Structure 1
Amino acid sequence: MILTKKILTSAALVVSAFTQTHAVEAFLIKSQTPMM
């Protein structure tokens, strides 16, 4: 049960991180400000 919770937690973290990265990418593309 603890193992399952760990897997779900890490999966949720990966999903949220991916969503945040995608949102940041979309924001940068929208604003068209090259940040390097």
Structure 2
Amino acid sequence: MEKDFSVIDYEVQDNVAVIVVNNPPVNALSFQFVQDCCTF
């Protein structure tokens, strides 16, 4: 998947990453993006 959007904010609630990106339509996909790129 092209990662052509940027994460502008994130928080962790109950070990689930909730992130905000600069392109709202990709919010659903961004959970997978977080799993792919980040470790909490």
TM norm structure 1: 0.28
Q: Which has the higher contact order (CA 8 A, sep 6+)?
A: 2
Q: Which structure's residues are more often helix, by fraction?
A: 1
Please state which structure has a larger fraction of its residues in strand: 2
Point out the structure with max Rg over C-alpha. 1
